[in-house]
Amino acid sequence: MIPAPPPPPPPSSDNRGAPARSGGGAWNKGRIASIAIEATMTMAKSEAYFMRMERMLV
């Protein structure tokens, strides 16, 4: 059984949501970028840590 797709929102809520959506777009992009940068930095840090540990074990 394939679940039914959610019904489309009524036009009144769509009109209200449009400005909020476009306004939140830039903030969302910045947030996503900062999360991506943070994840990359964390990965780089942990990679450097593992490389150091590897060198110590060899």
Dump pLDDT digits (tens) for 23-46. 555 556 778 888 888 888 888 888
pTM for the model: 0.35
- Residue 8: pLDDT band with limits 50, 70, 90: low
Rounded Cα gap, residues 18 and 12, in angstroms: 10
DSSP 1-58: -PPPPPPPPPHHHHHHHHHHHHHHHHHHHHHHHHHHHHHHHHHHHHHHHHHHHHHHH-
The single residue listed with the structure tokens 């943070």 is 38
**Predicted pLDDT at 43:** 84
- Assess whether pLDDT exceeds 60 at residue 11: no
Which two tokens mark 3?
């679940």
Which two tokens mark 51?
């490389």
**Predicted pLDDT at 13:** 46
Sign of CA dihedral 48, 50, 53, 54: negative
